[in-house]
Structure 1
Amino acid sequence: MTSLSPSETLVSLRAVTRSVTLPDAQHLHILRGIDLEVLSGDHTAIVGRSGCGKSTLLNLLGLLDVPTSGELEFLGQPAERLGSNARARLRGSTVGFVFQQFNLLPGRSALDNVITPLLYAKGREFWRRRELAMNMLDRVGLADRAHTMPNMLSGGEQQRVAIARALVRGPRLILADEPTGALDVETGQSVMALLDTVATETAAALVTITHDVNVAALARACYRLDSGVLGPMSLEEAGAPV
């Protein structure tokens, strides 16, 4: 794991664009000139309507994709100079993903689901995988549900298992894509409080991609993504419809 001071830049995007070529050879411009800096310890929310490019931006932040143009640096390394294998290794050790659909393995217990990322670890982390997974389940309040199958867990419990899985390797960057979208309001608030608490305790950066202004208002920095353009959003604006 890379050690960072709380104020050190984790991810930096400068004039980043992302476009794709359609079957008729036309270009679809998804992101346009994105400037964003994520520091270790930040809690950032990015708000926007469906189809505005939020998931594309998350894929760039998580090294699942590279920009069409512009500069993206992750831990000071230009993403375009990293091959797919190097990006996968960096992503696996540094980034934790939390999704709206919990994506738990249906035939595996909560414990086995949390262990999954550790199967790609090395050394002590690999050999201590069961202990580390149990500790993380305990941290999210589900130690007593470790051997329960996902279909026997509530929606909130499933999301907490997903959070434990995302955090078990101690990521420096937590990317949450509509993490409360499948939950009721009260459970969603509990899940966001848990994410914020763990991120704060570990000095990890938390970036929440959401259409829910109530979720965005929990962050310390808010941005609005509209038609591929990212701009600052005040906490007062977070109360306005998206």
Structure 2
Amino acid sequence: MAFLSARGIARSVTLPDGDELQILRGADLEVEVGEHVSIMGRSGSGKSTLLNILGLLDAPTAGALEFDGVPLERMSLARRDRTRGASVGFVFQQFNLLPGRTALENVAMPLLYDGGPGFWRRRAIATEMLERVGLGDRLGQRPERLSGGEQQRVAIARALVRSPRLILADEPTGALDVDTGATVMTLLDDIASQSGAALVTITHDPHVAARAQRVYRLSDGVLHETAPVLEPAAGAGA
């Protein structure tokens, strides 16, 4: 049984004029434990909407979603929130770090909602995670004092601090230069592999998508499994 299973996922919204906008029309996806899957698609294709549904932030209009064998319709809102907080880590393109807090405080923030020993050990756990992403010497720095790559590593550390079983990365390299983006993706892949977490990456970059074991393209609200097409390097064949 797949860790994450989505079948016939549809999502529509009602526009101010009363018309229905169909964003997803029947997307199917299964993700196994420890697997890396990438989803590509043009801007506005519904990639982020799908990611929010997979991460239990939103519910589909139609279709079936199972998270670790539990159907979404059997989860109360409270259970959905608990499952998301304990088992899902989000990595966003724009980092979403709190500007008035240090790197350590940003990473420790999710542990404030931990009902167990994680709450009491949050500073130690956050420190260990920041050391793991190579920022052990930047604990006291606020986001504005960090480079883009360092901010993204703080965001990754925050996403992983509760040892999630599913990592959802929405354009994780979109705000970074090519070299920094490659470093961040290597880090994300390595940590996901070491922890055995499933990783789903939303990206428009074929080089990022090519790192995954399976690649899908979202088009007309439906997922199609595909092979990534990499553009040749500048000057190749000249």
TM over 0.5: yes
Deviations 1:18-38 (A, max 9, x none): 111112221111011111001
Q: Equivalent residue for 1:11?
A: 4
Q: Which runs of 5+ in 2 are unaligned?
A: 233-238
Indicate if the aligned counterparts of 2:28 and 2:222 stay in contact, CA closer than 8 A: no
Cα distance in structure 1, aligned partners of 2:73 and 2:146: 41
Deviations 1:139-183 (A, max 9, x none): 000000001111000000000000000000000000000000000
The AA in structure 1 aligned to 2:32 is: L
Cα distance in structure 2, aligned partners of 1:133 and 1:54: 30
Which residue of the other structure, out of 43, 63, 71, is the alignment partner of 1:78? Answer: 71
Q: Give the TM-score of the pair, scaled to structure 1.
A: 0.93
Percent of pairs with identical residues: 64
Indicate if the aligned counterparts of 1:216 and 1:238 stay in contact, CA closer than 8 A: no
Q: Equivalent residue for 1:100?
A: 93
User: For residues 238 and 85 of structure 1, do their structure 2 counterparts lie closer, same or farther at Cα, with a shift above 3 Å needed?
Assistant: farther
The AA in structure 1 aligned to 2:187 is: L
Indicate if the aligned counterparts of 2:149 and 2:181 stay in contact, CA closer than 8 A: yes
Which residue of the other structure, out of 160, 173, 181, is the alignment partner of 2:174? Answer: 181
Question: Over aligned residue pairs, what C-alpha RMSD do you find?
Answer: 1.2
Equivalent residues in 2 for 1:184-199, closer than 5 Å: 184-199=177-192
Q: Equivalent residue for 1:4?
A: none
Which residue of the other structure, out of 17, 26, 31, is the alignment partner of 1:33? Answer: 26
Show structure 1 runs of 4+ deviating over 6 A.
Answer: none
SS in 2 for 1:131: helix
Count residues with an aligned counterpart.
232
SS in 2 for 1:9: coil
Which residue of the other structure, out of 222, 227, 230, is the alignment partner of 1:234? Answer: 227
Which residue of the other structure, out of 147, 153, 168, is the alignment partner of 2:146? Answer: 153
Q: Which runs of 5+ in 1 are unaligned?
A: 1-7
Q: Give the TM-score of the pair, scaled to structure 2.
A: 0.95
Indicate if the aligned counterparts of 1:39 and 1:205 stay in contact, CA closer than 8 A: yes
The Cα shift of 1:226 comes to 1.1
